């Protein structure tokens, strides 16, 4: 029981990172854009988020306040992600380039930029970039009141997390409501399913695709920032961040493109990724745990295509560009 | 009437006949723009871009040692781009080359580790080659089978297969094939399992160049190549023409995976002499860009893969000499891909601005 609680709690920590990546990519893919640049976007988010908090602290010194640093880090990461996916959007939507290739190019570009900014900060600050303990604590602090955290079992599972986790949950719920309860959400889904039909119905497909992809990229980037300021301990760590973006792409499939599923899905994926440290199964080598998320995703992918039920499919136009004059 | 629709500020018109010379000017211009934009990160670090670029060129081409290393980087990129070309021609988005390379390398490594003392040199290499080819081919066949049978999304499927392959090798590395206990390293291959060098670079470069010619003929001059092109244009047309689309998809993917597996074999037997989980090192992904930027033309792939290899090798020299982080090569590569991808748009379409269009319609 105790083991399960620690596993879930640790799963939530890493899962929060994935949840942002996944939610952003869900929003993007709902518009029919398959942005494979999430890996690069999350790198950029991580590097710029850290830079935001770091230079803020450098500017104001010991007076730096935790909440302000959090907001600045969030903003920096979000803007970096928006900028990265704006490149992707401009190329795929306006210049009609192939989505897969552009996404992979963005991955290369983004990991390069993230790594460059991380390295550059390290070099220009003389070897080591880290925030003060005061700010580190405010990033990693649990925000729920103590008496809630004190409840056995439920306390640690539900109430012991950072502000980022609860924000992600709220975001997931908001996105769910947006997709299912608003007209604009319906239009967005229509654009992802069939741009030609939406275009004929008078929906501005270009605008929906641009907005969804850019905002989605911004959300994904926050995930990278959250990784750096929580798991990595406010130090630029590109090794830990590598592969997280691809995992987020996998998670989108696992959640069958539904934001609410991302909440528990990301916790499961997070737990799977750290399980090898904590649980040993006699019949399975620990190294193979790490491929579990991908194997599970493949199985989900196969089953959804075999059963072919309409509500569990990828957006129909996913990965295909829409040109009005080329039908 | 007031509701006359105004001509939009800029309109697009498809170009039907572009002067090939002009197309090349646009392409070269896009590379130049990328190199100019690439100056930004260098200026940020306070490096003179002209000096930086000359270091990149010096550090990758101008000395025989450097040149050989650059070619060594270009070989897997080129061969893997050739593997991807038929799939992309068919509009089958195989982004699983990374995993196919890894599995090919893994299968070849098995024989290098356990058969090295049993079989003579050439025989062993031949067996390793076959193992790599078969392994990569079978690994690629899995997503192709599900695509053919249930139309499973191949982009996402092949992407996932990459990480499964890498995970399997990570397990072998720390488990059954580990050399010294706890080292997490697979022992180096015996000499018998290493590819010989020709002119200072492993013999893989000759194979890759032969493969360029073979792939050109396969895609342009054979019946199978024609079938691939038809499916790429329209699966329905292919079906009406009586082609077995599912079978052709699986066959093409098997060929593609086999070549990727061969790339894996070349990397372990020619360059690394050992296996580790990062053996593909992003080649499978970068090769996709190489293939696409070359517009699936095998001969153009030689140029593009060399260009990217020059950036890659040159930037390591840049880091050691001028202290610019080597990640600059990823940034420039990324920008280069962006501009070269977008330049096709300006080759295929003509922008018509409002003023000029009006003039034309008024009879110039």
In this prediction the pTM is 0.88
Q: What percent of chain A has pLDDT over 90?
A: 38
CATH number of A2-312: 1.10.3470
Residue A223 has a pLDDT of 93
CB contact A36 to B (< 8 Å): yes
Helical packing angle, A205-226 and A38-60, nearest 10°:
60
Would the CB atoms of A288 and B171 count as touching at under 8 Å?
Answer: yes
Comparing C-alpha atoms, which of B252, B334, B344, B257 is closest to residue B289? B334
Q: Is A297 helix (H, G, I), strand (E, B) or coil?
A: helix
Give the pLDDT mean for A114-133: 79
Centre a 10 Å sphere on the Cβ of residue A64 and count the other Cβ atoms it contains: 19
Q: Please report whether residue B160 resides in a domain.
A: yes
Distance CA A146, CA A151 (A): 9
Centre a 10 Å sphere on the Cβ of residue A127 and count the other Cβ atoms it contains: 6
Which residue reads 């991380």 in tokens? Answer: A118
Which range of A95-104, A160-169, A173-182 scores highest in mean pLDDT? It is A173-182
How many residue pairs from chains A and B have C-beta atoms closer than 8 A?
151
Residues in B closer than 8 angstroms to A314, CB to CB, are 153, 156
Residue B210 has a pLDDT of 92
CB contact B329 to A (< 8 Å): yes
Residue B355 has a pLDDT of 66
Residue B1 has a pLDDT of 42
- Choose the weakest-confidence range: A145-159, B159-173, B303-317: A145-159
Angle at B106 between CA B103 and CA B111, to 5 degrees: 135
Report the residue of B8, B92, B337 to disrupt the A interface, i.e. the one with the largest count of A CBs within 10 Å.
B337
Distance CA B335, CA A249 (A): 23
CB contact B164 to A (< 8 Å): yes
Give the pLDDT mean for A69-83: 92
Would the CB atoms of B333 and A120 count as touching at under 8 Å?
Answer: no
Q: What are phi and psi of B202, to 5 degrees?
A: -60, 155
Residues in A closer than 8 angstroms to B175, CB to CB, are 285, 287
Q: Are B136 and B210 in contact (CB under 8 A)?
A: no
Q: Give the count of alpha carbons within 13 A of A70, CB side only.
A: 17
Would the CB atoms of A287 and B170 count as touching at under 8 Å?
Answer: yes
Q: What are phi and psi of B203, to 5 degrees?
A: -60, -10
ipTM of the complex: 0.87
Domain ranges for chain A = 2-312
92-111 of A, contacting B, C-beta below 8 A: 95-98, 100-102, 104-111
Residue A234 has a pLDDT of 76
Q: Please report whether residue B219 resides in a domain.
A: yes
Residue A179 has a pLDDT of 93
Range(s) of the domain holding residue B92: 76-301
Distance CA A285, CA B172 (A): 10
Structural domains counted in chain B: 1
Residue B44 has a pLDDT of 82
A189 or A62, higher pLDDT: A189
Q: Please report whether residue B166 resides in a domain.
A: yes
Q: Are B257 and B141 in contact (CB under 8 A)?
A: yes
Residue A221 has a pLDDT of 94
State the average pLDDT for chain A: 85
Q: Please report whether residue B170 resides in a domain.
A: yes
CB contact A241 to B (< 8 Å): no
| Cβ neighbours for B331, distance < 8 A, ≥ 6 positions apart | A109, A112, A113, A116, B38, B41
* pLDDT tens digits along B160-202: 899 899 989 988 887 788 777 777 788 888 777 787 777 777 7
Helical packing angle, B204-221 and B223-233, nearest 10°:
70
Q: What percent of chain B has pLDDT over 70?
A: 95
DSSP assignments along A198-260, one per residue: HHHTT--HHHHHHHHHHHHHHHHHHHHHHIIIIIT-SS--HHHHTTHHHHHHHHHHHTTT-HH
Residue A147 has a pLDDT of 74
B145 or B188, higher pLDDT: B145
Give the pLDDT mean for A303-318: 79
Beta strands per DSSP E along chain B: 10-14, 197-198, 201-202, 349-353
Would the CB atoms of A116 and B327 count as touching at under 8 Å?
Answer: yes
Would the CB atoms of B95 and A111 count as touching at under 8 Å?
Answer: no
Q: Residue B364 pLDDT more than 50?
A: no
Distance CA A72, CA A237 (A): 20
In residues, how long is chain A?
Answer: 327
Residue B85 has a pLDDT of 92
């Amino acid at each position: 029981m105790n083991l399960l609680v620690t596993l879930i709690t640790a799963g939530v920590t890493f899962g929060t990172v994935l949840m942002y990546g996944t939610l952003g990519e869900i929003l993007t893919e709902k518009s029919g854009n398959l942005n494979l640049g999430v890996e690069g976007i999350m790198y950029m988010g991580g590097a710029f988020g850290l830079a935001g908090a770091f230079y803020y602290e450098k500017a104001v010194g010991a007076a730096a306040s935790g909440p302000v640093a959090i907001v600045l880090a969030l903003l920096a990461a979000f803007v970096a992600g928006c900028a990265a996916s704006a490149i992707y959007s401009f190329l795929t939507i306006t210049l009609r380039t192939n989505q897969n290739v552009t996404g992979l190019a963005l991955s290369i570009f983004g990991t390069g930029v993230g790594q460059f900014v991380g390295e550059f900060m390290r070099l220009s600050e003389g070897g080591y970039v880290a925030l003060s303990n005061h700010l580190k604590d405010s990033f990693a602090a649990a925000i729920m009141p103590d008496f809630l955290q004190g409840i056995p079992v439920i306390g640690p599972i539900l109430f012991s997390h950072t502000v980022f986790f609860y924000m992600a949950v709220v975001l997931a719920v908001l996105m769910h409501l947006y997709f299912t309860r608003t007209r604009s959400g319906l239009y967005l889904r229509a654009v992802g399913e069939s741009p030609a039909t939406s275009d004929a119905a008078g929906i501005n497909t270009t605008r929906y695709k641009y907005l969804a992809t850019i905002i989605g990229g911004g959300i994904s980037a926050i995930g990278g920032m959250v990784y750096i300021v929580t798991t990595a301990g406010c130090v630029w760590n590109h090794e830990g961040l590598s592969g997280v973006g691809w995992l987020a792409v996998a998670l989108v499939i696992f959640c069958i493109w539904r934001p609410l599923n991302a909440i528990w899905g990301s916790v499961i994926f997070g737990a799977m990724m750290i399980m090898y440290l904590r649980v040993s199964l006699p019949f399975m080598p620990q190294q193979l745990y790490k491929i579990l998320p991908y194997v599970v995703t493949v199985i989900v992918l196969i089953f959804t295509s075999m059963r072919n039920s309409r509500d569990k499919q990828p957006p129909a136009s996913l990965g295909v560009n829409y040109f009005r004059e080329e039908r | 009437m007031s509701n006359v629709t105004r001509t939009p500020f800029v309109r697009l018109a498809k170009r039907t006949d572009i002067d090939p010379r002009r197309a090349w000017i646009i392409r070269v211009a896009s590379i130049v723009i990328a190199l100019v934009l690439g100056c930004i990160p260098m200026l940020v670090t306070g490096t003179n871009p002209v000096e930086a670029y000359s270091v990149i060129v010096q550090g990758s081409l101008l000395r025989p040692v450097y040149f050989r290393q650059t070619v060594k980087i270009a070989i897997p990129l080129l061969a893997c781009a050739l593997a991807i070309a038929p799939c992309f021609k068919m509009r089958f988005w195989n982004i699983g080359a990374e995993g196919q390379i890894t599995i090919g390398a893994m299968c070849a490594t098995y024989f290098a580790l356990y058969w090295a003392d049993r079989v003579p040199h050439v025989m062993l290499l031949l067996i390793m080659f076959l193992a790599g080819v078969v392994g990569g081919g079978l690994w690629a066949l899995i997503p192709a089978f599900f695509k053919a049978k249930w139309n499973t999304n191949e982009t996402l499927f092949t992407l996932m297969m990459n990480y499964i392959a890498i995970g399997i090798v990570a397990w072998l590395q720390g488990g059954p094939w580990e050399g010294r206990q706890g080292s997490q390293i697979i022992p180096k291959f015996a000499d018998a399992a290493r590819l010989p060098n020709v002119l200072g670079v492993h013999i893989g470069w000759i194979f890759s160049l032969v493969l360029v010619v073979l792939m050109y003929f396969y895609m342009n001059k054979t019946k199978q190549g024609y079938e691939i092109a038809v499916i790429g244009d329209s699966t329905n047309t292919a079906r009406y023409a009586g082609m077995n689309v599912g079978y052709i998809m699986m066959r093409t993917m098997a060929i593609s995976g086999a070549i990727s597996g061969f790339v894996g074999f070349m990397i372990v037997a020619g360059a690394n002499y050992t296996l580790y989980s990062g053996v593909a090192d992003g080649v499978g992904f970068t090769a996709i860009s190489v293939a696409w930027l070359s517009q699936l033309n095998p001969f153009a792939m030689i140029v593009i893969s060399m260009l990217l290899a020059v950036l890659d090798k040159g930037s390591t020299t840049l880091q050691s000499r001028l202290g610019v982080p080597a990640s600059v090569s990823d940034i420039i590569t990324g920008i280069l891909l962006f501009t070269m991808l977008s330049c096709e748009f300006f080759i295929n379409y003509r922008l018509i601005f409002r003023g000029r269009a009006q003039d034309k319609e008024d009879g110039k």
